[in-house]
């Protein structure tokens, strides 16, 4: 049981850190006084979302590895 609890805590911490850094980077972009081209903003957003999706896949893989259902799995999959 301690291993399961430790794993869940690590996943929760990882998600919190990632979402916080995601929000801070968006905030930093919003505070930027220099005019930025729309293309640069879109590329930056796509990069952040790509990193976010990659980390979500890693987190879901950890859940599956330890026998938990992920958000992506339907409830009738068992």
Contact 11, 58 (CB under 8 A): no
If pLDDT is split at 50, 70 and 90, which confidence band does 31 have? low
Q: Assign 78 a pLDDT band (cuts: 50, 70, 90).
A: very low
Boundaries of every domain in the chain: 2-28+36-68
Q: Give the separation between CA 32 and CA 15, rounded to whole angstroms.
A: 26
pLDDT at 2: 61
Name the more confident of 52 and 21.
52
Distance CA(60)–CA(78), nearest Å, equals: 17
Alpha carbons 11 and 62: distance in angstroms, whole number: 8
Determine the Cα–Cα distance for residues 35 and 68; give it in Å rounded to an integer.
Answer: 46
Give the residue ranges of DSSP H helices in 1-78: 2-31, 38-65
- Residue range 44-71, pLDDT digits in tens: 788 888 888 888 888 888 888 877 765 5
Residue located via tokens 């026998």? 67
């Amino acid at each position: 049981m301690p291993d399961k609890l430790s794993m869940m805590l690590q996943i929760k911490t990882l998600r919190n850190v990632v979402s916080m850094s995601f929000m801070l980077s968006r905030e930093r972009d919003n505070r930027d006084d220099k005019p930025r081209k729309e293309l640069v903003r879109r590329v930056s957003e796509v990069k952040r979302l790509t990193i976010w999706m990659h980390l979500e896949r890693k987190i879901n893989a950890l859940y599956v590895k330890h026998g938990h259902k992920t958000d992506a799995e339907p409830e009738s999959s068992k």
